Amino acid sequence: MQKRAPANAAPKPLPDLPKVDDKSIDFETIELLFFAYRDFISDPDGILEKIGYGRAHHRVVYFVSRRPGMTVADLLSILRITKQSLARVLKELIDAGYIRQMTGPADRRQRRLYPTLAGRELALALSDPQSRRVSRAYETLSENERAGVKAFLAAMRSGDDADKTALEE
């Protein structure tokens, strides 16, 4: 959670910002993405709130369930968070019985992550409303339009494909 500055505090000085012509900004698409993301995460957020977890827990449970046996290093690469941030969330999920951590068979220093049955059920419960939301949105689209949506979302990602590669292994 980000700390707020007191109301009477002087604003932080801004770094040198580029000069941008606001006519070049696609505000409509930006707003559609903001609202789509807000609604896409709202259902899982409600479930997570009931059990005292947040979005970081959701992401960890999701990716570990999608690729059982992934290493902690793979997960750090995908989530792009610090080891310290992941360690806190992972400890909570392990202590609660959602994730198991085991040493690698070839390299004992390696830590591999697996969902427990409860972890898999949690991941599915969080993904189900999102999947239904995506399915409803796709109902009105042709196969070509669906492919276009996926291509657009893939193109929105930054150029680093380490997370994509980690999931495909």
Average pLDDT over residues 82-88: 93
Averaged confidence pLDDT in the chain: 89
DSSP of 123-161: HHHHHHHHHHHHHHHHTTS-HHHHHHHHHHHHHHS-S--
Statement: residue 52 has pLDDT above 70: yes
Average pLDDT over residues 70-90: 93
Residues 100-144: tens digit of each pLDDT: 999 877 777 788 999 999 999 999 999 999 999 999 999 999 999
How confident is the model at residue 92, as a pLDDT? 97
How confident is the model at residue 78, as a pLDDT? 94
SS (H, E, C) 19-36: CCCHHHCCHHHHHHHHHH
Class of the CATH domain delimited by 51-126: mainly alpha
Domain coordinates of the chain in residue numbers? 51-126
Question: 0.85 cut: is pTM over it?
Answer: no
Tokens of residue 115, six digits: 């969902």
Average pLDDT over residues 65-83: 94
How confident is the model at residue 7, as a pLDDT? 67
Q: Given the structure tokens 């941008």, which residue do they identify?
A: 20
Tokens of residue 77, six digits: 């690469």
How confident is the model at residue 166, as a pLDDT? 46
DSSP 3-state percent helix, strand, coil across the chain (nearest 5): 60, 5, 30
Are the beta carbons of 26 and 84 closer than 8 angstroms?
A: no
